[in-house]
């Protein structure tokens, strides 16, 4: 497993979901400093990291960001991830002014329809060619 810096942001995602794995690819392409680390929620590492959250989500439809000793879920996790990316993506984190109930409502809707709209993978994505060192195994 690659060395994990104490303050490194870790994105936990559904490794079977095409939308989720595309999101991981997006973060990898735009994270020029290579600070993000990734683990599928289905993986042993993902489950172990999730156990460290005060109230871990019960299902795999929730993206989780572990950063600075805290666990962020759903739209808050997405906005935190964007905030850690370079301009212009970091500017999108301004959507945090939208009430969380509304943001999470949109997030839950997308989580419900994501496999219908974007499909599922036959195999859990736990690494990506050229970025294997960024995935926690």
Q: How confident is the model at residue 123 (pLDDT cuts 50, 70, 90)?
A: low
Instruction: Give per-residue pLDDT as tens, 27-51.
Output: 999 998 999 999 998 889 999 998 8
Cβ proximity of 15 and 125 under 8 Å? yes
Name the pairing type of β-strands 37-40 and 10-13.
parallel
Domain ranges of the chain: 10-134
User: Distance between CA 39 and CA 7 in Å, rounded?
Assistant: 16
* 118 has a pLDDT exceeding 90: no
The two three-digit tokens of residue 91, written as one number: 């500017």
Q: pTM of the prediction? A: 0.88
């Amino acid at each position: 497993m690659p060395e994990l810096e104490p303050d490194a942001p870790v994105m936990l995602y559904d490794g079977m979901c095409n939308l989720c794995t595309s999101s991981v690819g997006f973060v990898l392409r735009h994270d020029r400093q290579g600070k993000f680390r990734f683990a599928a929620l289905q993986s042993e590492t993902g489950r172990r990291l999730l156990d460290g959250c005060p109230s871990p989500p019960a299902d795999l439809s929730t993206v989780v960001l572990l950063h600075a000793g805290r666990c962020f879920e759903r739209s808050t996790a997405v906005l935190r991830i964007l905030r850690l990316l370079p301009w212009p993506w970091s500017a999108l984190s301004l959507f945090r002014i939208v009430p969380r109930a509304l943001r999470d409502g949109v997030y839950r809707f997308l989580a419900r329809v994501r496999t219908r709209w974007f499909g599922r993978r036959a195999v859990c994505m736990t690494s990506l060619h050229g970025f294997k060192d960024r995935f926690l195994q």
